[in-house]
């Protein structure tokens, strides 16, 4: 498979078809591969971002390309299946093309898609059966585990299913390598599959059939292929130790010739299957014709022996990022302008394509110089400080011209992107020689793995914000007709909008070169010396953040909606907080303040850019529609009908962005008799039954002194958004999320509804006690502190009674369950309270820990900040802030091992990022000033 390197597509005027035609020596390579009996595929990239649009449509251009190159098939990059126009066009090519999809091909498309990837094939204890191959035996699947270090699962799945394996030595510049054991397995498997392919393709296939009991007990599995008196038994050993024994339940009949095909041994009954390896037995009945080439297969197998078991250790290689040395500064290039020192706002648009490795790949030490990257589209406005006069190009430039600019000025942006502008003479010469000078590597064909890998992450040009929503719509319709995702159409249209700046040429316009920042948008270092720490991307977002690339518009107020947006922002989402220019979010006035700066807002507004727009004005509504056109999620909590009255209801927003998720978070939901009422979390705490349950038995219902219902609703909203985004990834459609704050808190109050429905029972107020177990309460220690004790499990309750000197209570019949213990809470509380009251808190906690019983001190905020457990897991983080200096606040809610979240900045002042965000949708400085004068922003 000839796969174009994504970072190279679009660095100049070439598109993917030009790229294939321009690679030196490519046709010679294809011809030599054909001479060796090897089929050749090219990759079709449906989201090609090249600048030159071909004269014909993609099916026409692709058919012409494959005919010109003489290849055999097309790999459908990121696609399950091709549309009918693409298939019809490729049937007219010479030769007619076969198709391979990257994902699970639907059953009904197997007739015209002859191959597919099995990269998401789930291995089980016994190797599974591949659906598409079971459905159509001639359909070839390729097991694909790009970054795995142990390939035994995919090799065994291929051997048992009679399918293939995609062998990767390098993925997007990362050399992944194969260990000696897996190379040996692959070599033996391919040799047998090629010699015995008629049996594998046309023979009767019985998966997981025929193994002896001893083999099954040892984790050795067998499949059977039979045709015309010849039977092939494919055998795999799932264990980590070699296994020797009789793998088949059926002994060879008299006169049957039985051979082991991976070692070439005749007359076998017992075989040795290597650890995590394969074996194969071929039975040839009397009078049956042996497969052609069997003797050659057995001779090659006998010659391929190992004196010792091959090593399963991963052959690590050091990855090195090469950084060019600075060159002396010469004269500014012609056509540039001189920019005076000072702070500047630099609008930046850029696009990156795949380099490094996927976020789900196993992250290992030697890959640390390579930040994981997928397709990444960002638009930023950087605040940069220019320390001295610098020359800046004012116009459109290609990447090659940008490299010339660097060479002539000596300017070296210290970022991970390296922009290739041309293929060097040395590279062209090497490509011309390549078909005749490829070194051999035993087991994996040609291309010996290098001892050192030269790595240069590359950036490519990007999209620009669309200035004409109508143009985007037309392009979207054209993309849908061609079967392309809508987002790609929007990106192509945006790329046509001009902007002044240092740009790469891209279909008549360009993208400003992106200098990434060290600590986020607000704290970009100087143009000439900004450095990017490992794992930090544009705007300070961690490059591995789970939600990087998701844009959220937060137009909600107070707590539930804004906190939901905060949760999303904590894990990399680009959250834009929209507030009224004259009436800020009321949350800015809640809680204490220092020097006029609200403190609650520092946590609630973290990781958000803040803009001001009067949504009730026609101009403001239009601005939000423009922002929504490029957003993934919008969160709002206006009373039902408000957004519709402003022309911003779901119908209007989905008209500009059909993929938008609209989360509507209100007290009572969008329908029903209360839906139009104003409401807050306190009402939900009352209506849900929470207040009725809380408080002392003889006291009034009690509301919590904080936003409990709002907080639970915020978590539920963030969860609902992720569920909706997962659905959109599958079907490409946005939807409306209707979340009533009165519902999530009700879900957490236990089975009250079911208990009342079935028993007529109403749970009473019990203070700090529980109706489900006892002892459960807070108790005062001898030194005046308080501790909380819980005995939700029976064993913990027994340990507590033994600790406090009342083991006789364990023998009581009522002690056997939590519910009946709760009926004797007075007696149990008295025993526990007496023991705790006689001791200081340190002795109490130590005693419970020795007894392995559950206890915790009752803290106020001072105890939280000094507790060693909170410190050990990093619950509280210090965040730098422009207004207050270092600020301590709670960290993100959970820790992910591979894609962690983080706090990039604390809450910002009202409307601080208005100019920056509106510039991203094509609003000029002059237009912003005019809107500000009218009170729209």
The domain boundary, picked from 542, 565, 599, lies at: 542
Split at pLDDT 50, 70, 90, the class of 423 is very low
Q: Do 667 and 739 share a domain, yes or no?
A: yes
Q: Out of 47-56, 302-311, 332-341, 478-487, which region has the weakest mean confidence (pLDDT)?
A: 478-487
Q: What is the mean pLDDT of residues 420-446?
A: 36
Q: Give the single-character DSSP code of 816.
A: G
Q: Out of 27-31, 217-221, 482-486, which region has the weakest mean confidence (pLDDT)?
A: 482-486
Per residue in 503-557, pLDDT (tens digit) is: 222 222 222 223 333 333 222 222 222 222 333 333 344 445 889 889 999 999 9
Q: Is the residue at 897 inside a domain? A: no
Could you confirm whether 88 is annotated as catalytic? no
CATH number of 579's domain: 3.40.50.10540
Alpha-carbon span 296 to 290, nearest angstrom: 12
Split at pLDDT 50, 70, 90, the class of 319 is low
Q: Is the residue at 645 inside a domain? A: yes
Q: Is the residue at 773 inside a domain? A: yes
Q: Is 645 exposed, middle or buried (0-12, 13-18, 19+ CB in 10 A)?
A: exposed
Q: Give the single-character DSSP code of 536.
A: B
Q: Give the pLDDT of residue 836.
A: 96
Task: Kindly state the tokens that stand for 293.
Answer: 């080439």
Per residue in 219-232, pLDDT (tens digit) is: 999 999 999 999 99
Alpha-carbon span 118 to 144, nearest angstrom: 6
Which long-range contacts link 97-101 to residues 24+ away (Cβ below 8 Å)? 97/63, 97/66, 97/71, 97/72, 97/73, 98/72, 98/73, 98/74, 99/73, 99/74, 100/41, 100/73, 100/74, 100/75, 100/76, 100/142, 101/76
The domain boundary, picked from 858, 881, 899, lies at: 858
Residue 177 contacts residue 453 (beta carbons within 8 Å): no
Domains: count for the chain: 3
Q: Do 504 and 528 share a domain, yes or no?
A: yes
How many beta carbons lie within 10 A of that of residue 385, not counting itself?
A: 14
Q: What is the mean pLDDT of residues 19-32?
A: 90
The domain boundary, picked from 829, 858, 887, lies at: 858
Split at pLDDT 50, 70, 90, the class of 560 is very high
Q: Out of 354-358, 549-553, 691-695, which region has the weakest mean confidence (pLDDT)?
A: 354-358
Q: Out of 64-73, 160-169, 562-571, 827-836, which region has the weakest mean confidence (pLDDT)?
A: 160-169
Alpha-carbon span 903 to 542, nearest angstrom: 10
Q: Do 739 and 702 share a domain, yes or no?
A: yes
Alpha-carbon span 92 to 94, nearest angstrom: 7
Residue 263 contacts residue 280 (beta carbons within 8 Å): no
Cis preceding linkage at 95, omega within 30: yes
Q: What is the mean pLDDT of residues 401-422?
A: 55
Q: Is the residue at 532 inside a domain? A: yes
Q: Do 612 and 509 share a domain, yes or no?
A: no
CA 518 vs CA 227, 370, 384, 530: distances in Å: 65, 17, 12, 7
Q: Give the single-character DSSP code of 72.
A: S
Q: What is the mean pLDDT of residues 861-890?
A: 92
Query: Given a cut of 80, is residue 443 above it in pLDDT?
Result: no
φ, ψ for residue 558 (rounded to 5)?
65, -115
Residue 158 contacts residue 129 (beta carbons within 8 Å): no
Q: Give the pLDDT of residue 402.
A: 61
Query: Given a cut of 70, is residue 474 above it in pLDDT?
Result: no
Residue 53 contacts residue 507 (beta carbons within 8 Å): yes
Please give the residue that has the higher pLDDT: either 26 or 474. Answer: 26
Which member of 58, 570, 710, 915 is catalytic? Answer: 710
Query: Given a cut of 70, is residue 352 above it in pLDDT?
Result: no
Query: Given a cut of 80, is residue 847 above it in pLDDT?
Result: yes
- The rounded mean pLDDT for the chain is 80
Alpha-carbon span 461 to 15, nearest angstrom: 13
Q: Do 507 and 615 share a domain, yes or no?
A: no
**Cα 332 from chain centre:** 42
Q: Give the pLDDT of residue 332.
A: 66
CATH number of 822's domain: 3.30.1540.10
In DSSP notation, 234-249 reads EEEE-SSS-EEE--BS
Split at pLDDT 50, 70, 90, the class of 318 is low
H/E stretch holding 601 reads helix 600-604
Q: Is the residue at 153 inside a domain? A: no
Residue 709 contacts residue 688 (beta carbons within 8 Å): yes
CA 740 vs CA 42, 113, 560, 800: distances in Å: 51, 47, 10, 41
Q: Is the residue at 46 inside a domain? A: no
Alpha-carbon span 919 to 924, nearest angstrom: 6
pTM: 0.48
Task: Kindly state the tokens that stand for 853.
Answer: 């019983």
Alpha-carbon span 555 to 572, nearest angstrom: 19
Nearby residues of 741 by Cβ (< 8 Å), 6 or more positions away: 560, 665, 666, 667, 668, 679, 681, 683, 684, 709, 710, 713
CA 892 vs CA 199, 567, 572: distances in Å: 57, 8, 11
Q: Do 530 and 629 share a domain, yes or no?
A: no
Q: What is the mean pLDDT of residues 711-734?
A: 93
Q: Do 632 and 707 share a domain, yes or no?
A: yes
Q: Is the residue at 833 inside a domain? A: yes
Nearby residues of 461 by Cβ (< 8 Å), 6 or more positions away: 10, 11, 49, 51, 350, 351, 399, 495, 503, 504, 505, 506, 510, 511
Segments in 434-481 forming alpha helices (H): 469-481
Which long-range contacts link 472-479 to residues 24+ away (Cβ below 8 Å)? 472/629, 472/656
Q: Give the pLDDT of residue 377.
A: 55
Query: Which of 344, 330, 126 is CA-nearest to residue 237?
Result: 126
Q: State the residue for tokens 């210290």.
A: 414
Please give the residue that has the higher pLDDT: either 290 or 176. Answer: 290
Please give the residue that has the higher pLDDT: either 717 or 731. Answer: 717
CA 756 vs CA 463, 652, 690: distances in Å: 58, 44, 15
Query: Given a cut of 80, is residue 420 above it in pLDDT?
Result: no
Q: Do 734 and 787 share a domain, yes or no?
A: no
| Relative orientation angle of helices 486-494 and 469-481, to the nearest 10 degrees | 140
Gap between the terminal Cα atoms of the chain: 53
Q: What is the mean pLDDT of residues 610-622?
A: 95
Please give the residue that has the higher pLDDT: either 348 or 463. Answer: 348
Q: What is the mean pLDDT of residues 271-277?
A: 95
Q: Do 778 and 729 share a domain, yes or no?
A: no
Query: Given a cut of 50, is residue 567 above it in pLDDT?
Result: yes
Q: Do 635 and 673 share a domain, yes or no?
A: yes
Please give the residue that has the higher pLDDT: either 906 or 335. Answer: 906
Query: Which of 504, 503, 333 is CA-nearest to residue 410?
Result: 333
Query: Given a cut of 60, is residue 298 above it in pLDDT?
Result: yes
Q: Do 509 and 589 share a domain, yes or no?
A: no
Residue 205 contacts residue 199 (beta carbons within 8 Å): no
Alpha-carbon span 295 to 522, nearest angstrom: 72
Q: Is the residue at 518 inside a domain? A: yes
Range of the domain at 654: 545-749+911-933
Please give the residue that has the higher pLDDT: either 55 or 743. Answer: 743
Q: Do 532 and 632 share a domain, yes or no?
A: no
CA 641 vs CA 448, 672, 676: distances in Å: 66, 13, 8
Q: What is the mean pLDDT of residues 433-437?
A: 37
Q: What is the mean pLDDT of residues 852-871?
A: 92
φ, ψ for residue 787 (rounded to 5)?
-130, 155
């Amino acid at each position: 498979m000839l796969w174009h390197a994504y970072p190279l597509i679009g660095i100049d005027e070439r598109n993917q078809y030009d790229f294939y035609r321009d690679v030196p020596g490519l046709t010679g390579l294809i011809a030599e591969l054909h001479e060796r009996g090897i089929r050749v595929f090219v990759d079709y990239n449906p989201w090609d971002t090249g600048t030159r649009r071909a004269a014909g449509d993609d099916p026409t251009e692709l058919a012409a390309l494959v005919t010109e190159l003489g290849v055999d098939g097309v790999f459908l990059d990121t696609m399950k299946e091709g549309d009918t126009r693409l298939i019809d066009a490729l049937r007219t090519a010479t030769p007619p093309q076969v198709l391979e999809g990257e994902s699970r091909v639907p059953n009904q498309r197997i007739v015209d898609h002859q191959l597919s990837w099995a990269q998401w094939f789930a291995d089980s204890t016994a190797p599974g059966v591949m659906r598409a191959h079971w459905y159509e035996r001639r359909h070839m699947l390729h097991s694909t585990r790009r970054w795995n270090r142990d390939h035994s699962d995919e090799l065994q799945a291929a051997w048992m299913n009679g399918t293939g394996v995609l062998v990767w030595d390098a993925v997007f510049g990362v050399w992944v390598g194969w260990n000696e054991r897996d190379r040996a397995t692959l070599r033996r498997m391919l040799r047998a599959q090629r010699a015995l392919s008629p049996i594998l393709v046309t023979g009767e296939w019985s998966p997981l059939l025929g193994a002896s009991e001893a083999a099954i007990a040892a984790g050795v599995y067998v499949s059977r292929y039979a045709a015309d008196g010849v039977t092939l038994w494919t055998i795999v050993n799932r264990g980590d130790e070699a296994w020797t024994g009789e793998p088949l339940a059926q002994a060879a009949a008299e006169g049957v010739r039985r051979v082991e095909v991976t070692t070439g041994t005749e007359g076998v009954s017992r075989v040795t299957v290597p650890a995590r390896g394969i074996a194969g037995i071929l039975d040839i009945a009397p009078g049956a014709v042996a497969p052609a080439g069997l003797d050659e297969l057995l001779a090659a197998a006998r010659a391929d022996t190992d004196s010792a078991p091959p090593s399963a250790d991963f052959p690590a290689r050091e990855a090195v990022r090469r950084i060019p040395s600075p060159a002396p500064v010469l004269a500014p290039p012609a056509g540039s302008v001189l920019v005076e020192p000072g702070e500047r706002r630099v609008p930046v648009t850029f696009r990156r394509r795949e380099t490094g490795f996927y976020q789900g790949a196993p992250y290992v030490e030697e890959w640390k110089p390579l930040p994981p990257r997928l397709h990444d589209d960002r638009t930023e406005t950087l605040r940069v400080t220019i320390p001295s006069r610098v020359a800046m190009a004012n116009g459109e430039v290609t990447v090659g011209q940008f490299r010339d600019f660097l060479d002539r000025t000596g300017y070296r942006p210290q970022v991970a992107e390296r922009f290739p502008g041309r293929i060097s003479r040395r590279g062209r010469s090497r490509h011309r020689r390549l078909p005749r000078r490829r070194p051999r590597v035993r087991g994996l064909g040609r291309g010996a793995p290098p001892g050192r890998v030269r790595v240069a992450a590359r950036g490519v040009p990007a999209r620009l914000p669309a200035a004409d929503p109508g143009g985007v719509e037309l392009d979207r319709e054209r993309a849908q007709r061609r079967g392309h995702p809508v987002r790609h159409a929007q990106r192509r249209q945006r790329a046509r909008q001009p902007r002044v700046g240092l740009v790469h040429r891209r279909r008549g316009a360009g993208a400003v070169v992106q200098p990434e920042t060290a600590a986020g948008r607000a704290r970009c270092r100087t143009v000439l010396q900004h450095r990017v720490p490992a794992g930090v991307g544009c705007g300070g977002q961690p490059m591995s953040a789970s939600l990087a690339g998701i844009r959220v518009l937060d137009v909600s107020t107070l707590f539930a909606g804004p906190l939901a947006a905060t949760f999303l922002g904590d894990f990399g989402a680009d959250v834009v907080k929209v507030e009224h220019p004259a009436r800020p979010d009321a949350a800015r006035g809640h809680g204490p303040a220092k020097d006029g700066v609200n403190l609650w807002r520092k946590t609630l507004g973290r990781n958000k850019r803040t803009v001001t727009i009067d949504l009730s004005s026609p101009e403001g509504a239009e601005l939000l529609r423009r922002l929504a056109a490029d957003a993934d999620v919008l969160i709002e909590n206006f009373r039902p009908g408000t957004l519709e009255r402003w022309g911003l209801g779901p119908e209007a927003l989905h008209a500009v962005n059909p993929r938008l998720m609209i989360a509507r978070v209100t007290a009572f939901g969008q329908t029903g008799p209360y839906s139009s009422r104003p409401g807050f979390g306190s009402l939900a705490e009352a209506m849900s039954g929470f207040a009725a349950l809380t408080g002392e038995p003889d006291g009034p219902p009690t509301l919590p002194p904080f936003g409990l219902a709002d907080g639970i609703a915020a978590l539920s909203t963030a969860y609902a958004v992720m569920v909706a985004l997962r659905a959109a990834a599958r079907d490409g459609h946005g939807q409306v999320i209707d979340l009533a704050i009165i519902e999530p808190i009700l879900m957490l109050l236990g089975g009250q509804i079911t208990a009342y429905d079935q028993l007529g029972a109403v749970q009473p107020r019990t203070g700090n006690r529980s109706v489900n177990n006892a002892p459960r309460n807070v108790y005062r220690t001898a030194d005046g502190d308080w501790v909380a004790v819980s005995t939700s499990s029976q064993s913990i309750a027994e340990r507590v009674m033994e600790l406090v000197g009342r083991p006789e209570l364990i023998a009581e019949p009522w002690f056997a369950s939590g519910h009946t213990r709760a009926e004797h809470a007075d007696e149990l509380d008295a025993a526990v309270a007496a023991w705790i009251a006689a001791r200081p808190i340190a002795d109490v906690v130590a005693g419970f820990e020795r007894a392995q019983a559950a206890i915790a001190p009752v803290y106020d905020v001072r105890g939280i900040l000094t507790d060693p457990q909170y410190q050990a897991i990093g619950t509280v983080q210090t965040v730098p802030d422009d207004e207050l200096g270092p600020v301590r606040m709670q960290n993100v809610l959970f820790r992910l091992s591979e894609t962690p979240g983080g706090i990039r900045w604390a809450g910002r002042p009202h409307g601080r990022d208005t100019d920056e965000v509106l510039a991203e949708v094509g609003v000029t400085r002059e237009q912003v000033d005019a809107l500000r004068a009218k009170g729209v922003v």
